[in-house]
Structure 1
Amino acid sequence: MAMMNKTRDLIEGIVREASQKWALNRETSLKDEIEEMCQSPSGRRKWISHLSPIANVVVGRCSQILNVSMDELQSNFNSEASETIRSSSNYARNFLEYSCFRTLALYTQVSGHLSDKAFRRLAFDMMLAWEAPSAASQPTLKVAERTTGYEAFSRIAPAIPIIADVVTCTDLFDVLTSSTGGRLTFAIYEKYLGALDRAIKKMKTQSESSLLSDLRHRREERILEVDGTLTTQPVLEHIGTATRPGRLILTDHALYFEALRVVTFDKPKVYELADDLKQSIKPELTGPWGSRLFDKAVMYKSISLLEPVIMEFPELTGHFRRDYWLAIMREVLYAHRFIQKHAIKGVEKEETLSKAVLGVLRVQAIQDLVSSAHVKYETLLMFNLCDQFPGGDVILETLASMITSRRLDRTNQSSCGNGMYSLSALGILSNLGLVSQISMENKLLVSEIVVGEMTSLERAVNVARINYKHLEKAQASINGVKVDGLDAKLAVMKELLQPMIKLQDFLISVARWDEPIKSTIFCSLFCFIICSIEATFQADYKRSFSAVELFSLKSHLGRAGNG
């Protein structure tokens, strides 16, 4: 362990020194740096003729961080890459990927790299260079300096598993570019990495705290999320007719609920996610006296419980808090089901759980950037998405094959990998300090990205997404096809009932608080109408009562007069 710490300290020193030199020398913008290289390719800077100006800049930075010359870096690529990759028409892009993967594998061993502005800029510039890697491709500098597209993001971002993974990469990119027309800006990318850094620090703090210290020690569980610590926003546990407020804690193995006392919390109840107990987790409705009014709860069932447990997440508007917890609880449960189904053990099991942990961290980061109303959490979590996605079973079978069949050959790999493969999830968690440092014999070669090739996982994801698009088109065609006979009559009836259907959809949307402003206005208006009707009724009642009293009085007076 001491040797590993010394090696890490040495790596950190080399990388920090190189990045500081680059930062000090880089007094101009990327555009000016490229223009300088274009004007004097044989000057003080090294120039590789196969590469575009921006690719030369990025490879130059990589060589400084790796502490090798650009010529040596290219020579290493030529010796390590297969003949197919070297002779490919995409030689420039393949060499760029190799340089990027090697650099990222080394750079991510530096503690706090996500908060390093030089790392953020370099990781983004790698994507810009990927879009125009060869000398023949000359992008418009003004455009290239600002945004990058999906293809570049999907090749470079998953090389750092904390930033993205192959399965959910498309959905993550769509969320990040929802306000920028499908192109990723550096400003948003930098904010995203900053949010990731904060999520990691929060998880570290929670896992290093005294929360569940005795219970977590046995399985070295990591705390992923905690809710209900504020008395103004508790989690409510419903078992039968009993309801108790308290604190809910999710680890990568179980769910813990600590009921709230006056000043402390009760001994935690454990709801297992790792063991095979036929568990199910699904959304649930709650309300006073057993009514089903509020869509803000999650129901947990297992064969170890006599009756289901309902966890309610009260909030004034919407059910985003519940949706978030539902997604991350299911992610842990589905990850363990995957492990059980494929009998995954040892370091391979840790790799699988690491993928789930990284997915939760990314969702937490996205929560900082995007309104919860516009995010479907399950699409950003690998095991959630595969559970719902057509072809998801094939994706998981491919992932299982990758995890169980690839183990790092320590005789052929350097301490940071040979550059042909990207990092593993377990490796990045180790670098981030969320798991103990792993030795070489325990490293895995289960990267999702390979230089110059599509991995089997990438192919499975692409096929599944293509088939899903075809399915959507086919469904749209079925919905839009002309009908006759009985179908025509049903279609006419449907059109006649369309206003009622729209009213029903509107009322459901209001009840779910999908759009809080509309729901608030509707409720206020509805309350005003009810109050107005009640006031009118009371006024009419009083007038009627007064008339009856007057008539009775007249009758009484008349009888008195006659008497």
Structure 2
Amino acid sequence: MAMKLKYLSSIAEEVVAKCAQKIDISVDKLVEDFEKGWTPDEGNYCKNLVEFCSGKALTQMCHNIGEEINNGSFGRLSYDIMLAWERPTYYDDDNEHLEAEAKEKEEKKSTVKTTQEQDDISLFYSDIMPLLVSNEPTVGEDAFVWLGSLVPLVADVANGRFTFETLTAPTGLRLHFPAYDMFLKEMEKCVRHLQKQATPTGVELAEDECIIHVEGTASSQRVIRHIGTTSWPGRLTLTNYALYFEASGVIRYDDALKIDLRNDAEQSVKPTATGPWGAQLFDKAIVIESTDLSEAVVLEFPELTSSTRRDHWMALIREIMFLHQFLSKYNINCPIQTWEMHARTLLGIIRLHAAREMLRISPPVPTKFLIFSLYDEIPKGDYVLEELPDSLRKVNSGKPCSASSILKSMHIDGPVVSNTIVEEASQVDKSVDVRDDSPSLDSAIKQSREEEKRVLVAKATTEELKDEGVTDSVLVLTELLKPLQNAVPWLQKIFTWEKPIATVAVLALSLIITYMEWVGKTAAAFLVWVIIKMLKAREEKLNEKCNEIVISRSNMASDQSTMDSIVSAQHGLYTVHEMMQIANIAMLKIWSILISKADKLQAIE
């Protein structure tokens, strides 16, 4: 046994010892229990040992996970578990040492070579990085998602990869311990904050109804309901079943207006604009329409600059609507499985609240933390949702590390389920037959994620081409207008009376044409002149001399910084671009008619 343990990495050996201490047995006894069920066919001994010990310790900690998070023991041990899972053998220690040396050399090079781009980095990164980064080894995406499969607190297997990507975007897609520990503690604070919220006035919440988000109180930002030309401030409360709005009274809130989000009736939540006396000036509101409502409910979330609050609320409301649509569509009627899905959704919303508290300067995209909103948005997300019911039936909600059990240990109770229903659910779980030809949940998630990346690349390429097209259109238009450059100064001299004789002649000719009503004859004379020019061009064989129009980019070199160029591209005038294209096409057609040949454009550097 000692011979096998020596192959463990230093962090893996430390984790095994901590796990044994946590479950109050010796390391030898823990390893002996593991070897009773392990066979060489299962693969990596060290990694399997780490997984076995981690599962035992985490199960023990999930019984009182709130206190474990507060005292820091859960964060420290679970982070070390992820490190050990990534580096289970002593070979990984050598690789880690080499990576550290390479990273140190790279950092030295980067400090010597300062570029213009570094001067343009947003203050967000320089402000937040000291809080998120440490010199400890960092954790990757696979380890984070694997931990989420054991304890669906920090991540859910359905969207854990998207959550990790959002959390680690400022730190190079590597998770540092300070950020991880802060994330856990913010989640625990969020749960305690929600538990303190008052029940909406005149409402009795259901047994398994939990408050998810509240705004409009004295300690939070305002929420305003618009009814016609009148506006009513009040408190807005969202639960996992409904949305409640209580108009502010003189002393207390009025009875709450309930908008049930679990009905199968036609419901929609859309962004809208509001303003004083019904004028649509500020795009910071949502409108909720339903067949159960006599009129649409318009709620505004005032803020100075962006519409972040509105987008946040709209994402949460849609998530609850999608949750009930999912349960109804796949006929998930078992109370245990239903509450487990509710619990997973609630934990996703709690993660979103925690991430928003961590990243206040640049709030994350809400859908990256919400299961149903995410897969409703990205390509092939329906494939993942089709796999969720099967994975849900395999989950034993009675385990300490299930989503519902975690919420219960954090004092968020679900419905009371009889023993008969529990036994029936366990029998159903054993009889579940998953089709062999259907893709697994993990493969469906990877496929959907790859499709999302392709779509993002395609959109970025389209925008880039569109931005570059503005510059090309300017070049083409400038080149086509070159023949008129000599005429423009001459016309300016006429209009400014720098050539009085020419100006008087033009005025006299204009008056004669107007007085004698020779406008038609003048147009005919102009067309005859154009025909003469065309015949002259054919006689001089201009169609053979002008095979192509050459446009040079050399005079378009930009002295802008990288950040200025990006901003300019983002705020490009797409309407001007289209107008330039139309003008270029029209002028090319006219030129082709004049010389009786279509030209080819050639751009040279």
Q: TM-score by structure 2 length?
A: 0.65
Tell me, yes or no, if structure 1 residue 429 matches structure 2 residue 383: no
Deviations 1:436-458 (A, max 9, x none): 59788749899xxxxxxxx9322
Task: Tell me which amino acid in the other structure corresponds to 1:117.
Answer: G
Q: Summarize the Cα distance change of 1:136–1:230 in structure 2 as closer, same or farther, 3 Å threshold.
A: same
1:460 to 444, 449, 452: 444
Retained in 2: the 8 A contact 1:320–1:372?
no
User: For residues 504 and 129 of structure 1, what CA distance do their matches in structure 2 show?
Assistant: 45
1:100 to 42, 47, 54: 54
User: For residues 220 and 337 of structure 2, what CA distance do their matches in structure 1 show?
Assistant: 41
Q: Summarize the Cα distance change of 1:148–1:244 in structure 2 as closer, same or farther, 3 Å threshold.
A: same
Deviations 1:35-86 (A, max 9, x none): xxxxxx97xxx972342221111011111212233333334334446x5xx5
Tell me, yes or no, if structure 1 residue 77 matches structure 2 residue 37: no
Task: Tell me which amino acid in the other structure corresponds to 1:322.
Answer: R
Larger Rg: 2
2:20 to 63, 76, 84: 63
Pairing of 1:111-510 with structure 2 (within 5 A): 111-139=66-94, 140=96, 145-206=136-197, 209-212=198-201, 214-216=203-205, 218-230=206-218, 233-345=221-333, 346-371=335-360, 373-403=362-392, 405-406=393-394, 408=396, 416=399, 423-436=401-414, 442=422, 456-473=440-457, 492=473, 506=571
Aligned residues: 434
User: For residues 295 and 386 of structure 2, what CA distance do their matches in structure 1 show?
Assistant: 34
Retained in 2: the 8 A contact 1:281–1:301?
yes
Deviation at 1:391, TM superposition (A): 1.3
User: For residues 131 and 351 of structure 1, what CA distance do their matches in structure 2 show?
Assistant: 29
Q: Which consecutive residues of structure 1, in runs of 5 or more, have no partner in the other structure?
A: 1-40, 410-414, 418-422, 447-454, 483-487, 509-563
Q: Summarize the Cα distance change of 1:507–1:333 in structure 2 as closer, same or farther, 3 Å threshold.
A: farther
Q: Summarize the Cα distance change of 1:56–1:494 in structure 2 as closer, same or farther, 3 Å threshold.
A: farther
For residue 49 of structure 1, what is the aligned residue in structure 2?
A: 6
Retained in 2: the 8 A contact 1:128–1:145?
no
Farther-moved stretch of structure 1 (431-440 vs 224-233) = 431-440
Deviation at 1:424, TM superposition (A): 2.2
Q: Which consecutive residues of structure 2, in runs of 5 or more, have no partner in the other structure?
A: 101-134, 430-438, 479-563, 574-605
Q: Summarize the Cα distance change of 1:306–1:163 in structure 2 as closer, same or farther, 3 Å threshold.
A: same
For residue 553 of structure 2, what is the aligned residue in structure 1?
A: none
User: For residues 278 and 79 of structure 1, what CA distance do their matches in structure 2 show?
Assistant: 56
Deviation at 1:163, TM superposition (A): 1.1
Deviation at 1:222, TM superposition (A): 0.7
Deviations 1:366-425 (A, max 9, x none): 11110253411122111110110111111111001222x32649xxxxx757xxxxx321
User: For residues 199 and 381 of structure 1, what CA distance do their matches in structure 2 show?
Assistant: 16
For residue 546 of structure 1, what is the aligned residue in structure 2?
A: none
Aligned Cα RMSD in Å? 3.6
User: For residues 372 and 160 of structure 1, what CA distance do their matches in structure 2 show?
Assistant: 29
User: For residues 92 and 569 of structure 2, what CA distance do their matches in structure 1 show?
Assistant: 54
Deviation at 1:176, TM superposition (A): 2.5
State the secondary structure of the residue aligned to 1:338. helix
Q: Summarize the Cα distance change of 1:431–1:232 in structure 2 as closer, same or farther, 3 Å threshold.
A: closer
Deviation at 1:214, TM superposition (A): 4.3
Deviations 1:498-557 (A, max 9, x none): x9x98896499xxxxxxxxxxxxxxxxxxxxxxxxxxxxxxxxxxxxxxxxxxxxxxxxx
Deviation at 1:494, TM superposition (A): 11
Q: TM-score by structure 1 length?
A: 0.69
Q: Summarize the Cα distance change of 1:489–1:73 in structure 2 as closer, same or farther, 3 Å threshold.
A: closer
State the secondary structure of the residue aligned to 2:63. coil
Higher RCO (C-alpha under 8 Å, 6+ residues apart): 1
Retained in 2: the 8 A contact 1:430–1:437?
no
Deviation at 1:470, TM superposition (A): 3.5
User: For residues 460 and 302 of structure 2, what CA distance do their matches in structure 1 show?
Assistant: 38
Q: Summarize the Cα distance change of 1:108–1:495 in structure 2 as closer, same or farther, 3 Å threshold.
A: farther
User: For residues 167 and 259 of structure 2, what CA distance do their matches in structure 1 show?
Assistant: 34
Identity %: 32
Retained in 2: the 8 A contact 1:283–1:298?
yes
Deviation at 1:292, TM superposition (A): 2.0
Retained in 2: the 8 A contact 1:258–1:265?
yes
Farther-moved stretch of structure 1 (178-187 vs 324-333) = 178-187
Retained in 2: the 8 A contact 1:150–1:170?
yes
Task: Tell me which amino acid in the other structure corresponds to 2:406.
Answer: I
State the secondary structure of the residue aligned to 1:179. helix
Deviation at 1:489, TM superposition (A): 11
Retained in 1: the 8 A contact 2:230–2:277?
no
Q: Summarize the Cα distance change of 1:475–1:376 in structure 2 as closer, same or farther, 3 Å threshold.
A: closer
Retained in 2: the 8 A contact 1:240–1:307?
no
Q: Summarize the Cα distance change of 1:504–1:406 in structure 2 as closer, same or farther, 3 Å threshold.
A: closer
Deviation at 1:192, TM superposition (A): 1.0
Deviation at 1:185, TM superposition (A): 1.2
State the secondary structure of the residue aligned to 1:248. strand
